[in-house]
Amino acid sequence: MNKDKSLITYVAFLRAINVGGRFVKMDVLSKLFSSAGFQNVRTFIQSGNVIFDSAETDADMLEDRIEKLLQKKLGYEVDTMIRMLDELEAMVRRNPFKKLPDDAKISVAFMSAELKEKIKTPLFSPKKDVKIIEVKGRDAFCVHHLIEGKWGYPNLFIEKTFKVRTTVRFWSALKNLLAFAAAVER
């Protein structure tokens, strides 16, 4: 595929897609993004990951534009966190989890904004079921712990503590998304 060099490849991480009674087929999401003028639109798994190309360089503006589009077309708010594909590839190459055991349950919390204050890591949630090992920009790198038979999940902890919207993707899913995006780019 010959991609226009003026286009940037982005990934939109949509929060709460296909959970809580809000179901959207991925082909519908693809059509919505394409109808908004985005190019080379493709989705990855059913959890609201949309890869697309745009000449727009302002990710905040893209987030706002996509949130308004989804609100209008779906009838409810869909928090959207945008990252450039290049950023995600660099994140995975850097791998802040490399010192953890292979079986660790790990994820990235994509936040809507950088935290206002610098936090000291590791930072544990009040229940000790989530540990933030690092925050870099708008991304928090989290380890999930099993407490009383339940795995911790960072969304509510981060949102309540830091007052930022968040959506989470497991590290393995993020690596698979990047492999999918790379295969499509070829």
Q: Which CATH number does the domain housing residue 30 bear?
A: 3.30.70.1280
d(CA 64, CA 162): 20
One domain for residues 77 and 124: no
Q: Count of residues for the chain?
A: 186
Could you check whether the bond before residue 126 is cis, i.e. omega within 30 degrees of 0?
no
Query: What's the domain count of the chain?
Result: 2
83 and 106 belong to one structural domain? no
pLDDT for the residue numbered 186: 47
Assess if residue 53 is contained within a domain: yes
pLDDT given for residue 31 in this prediction? 96
Residue pLDDT tens, the chain, 186 long:
456 778 999 999 999 887 777 789 999 999 999 999 999 999 999 889 999 999 999 999 999 999 999 999 999 999 999 999 999 999 999 999 999 998 899 999 999 999 998 999 999 999 999 999 999 999 999 999 999 999 999 999 999 999 999 999 999 999 999 999 988 764
Residue 16, pLDDT score: 81
What is the distance between the terminal CA atoms of the chain, rounded to a whole angstrom? 6
Residues 65 and 103 in one domain: no
Residues 78, 145, single domain; the answer is no
Whether residues 14 and 28 fall in one domain? yes
Torsion of CA 7, 91, 153, 58, to 10 degrees: -30
Domain span at residue 123? 95-170
> According to the model, what pLDDT value does residue 183 have?
84
Residues 118 and 65 in one domain: no
- Does some domain include residue 140? yes
> Do 105 and 75 sit in the same domain of this protein?
no
